[in-house]
Amino acid sequence: MVRILTRNRIVGIAIALVIFAVDQVIKNLVDGPLGLKQEGDKLDLLPFFDFTRVHNYGVSLGMFEATSPETRWLLIAVTGLIALVVTVWMLREKAMGDIFGLALILGGALGNIVDRYQYGYVLDYADLHIGEFRPFLIFNVADAAITIGVLIILARSFLTRDKAGEKAETADLSAAES
């Protein structure tokens, strides 16, 4: 049992590192060889997907923009603290499904922290659209990983809690009938 828990945690750390690495590689491609140097530069890839360089000075959905060096460092500190909490949570977790979700969040958070440290903003580039309609803001791999990780954690918490509650009710009913 201890080996499985240790293995799951190592897998979680590996997933976080892979997400972080993929995010940084793509951002370096956007900033370098793909030639998207200025905010608003665009590379058409598919009829529904482009790379469009955007500088996100805020956090989720551009909220809480860092308008000064102090707020930039405050955002780095807060997101660093969140990443630390997620790391501790992941290392204490037993279920691989939860570890996987937390690993996605951690890898994405680390990628965005590095951006904010290096540039003062998060580099976003993934522009998914249907004609002029954009169902999402422009995002990056880190943002996608964080979103998917949060959805996994939420889904597992709702589904796991319901099943645990049903088991407890069944056990209570069985005990009452005896």
Laid out side by side, the sheet with 42-46 consists of 42-46, 49-56, 122-128
Check if 124 is active-site: yes
d(CA 146, CA 24): 15
98, 115, 124, 127: the active-site residue: 124
Asked whether the beta carbons of 142 and 23 are under 8 A apart, the reply is yes
**Cα 34 versus chain centre, distance:** 24
Check if 143 is active-site: yes
d(CA 4, CA 129): 42
Half-sphere exposure of 169 (CA within 13 A, CB side): 6
Collapsed DSSP state (helix, strand, coil) of residue 129: coil
50, 143, 162, 172: the active-site residue: 143
d(CA 23, CA 37): 17
Catalytic residue annotation: 124, 143
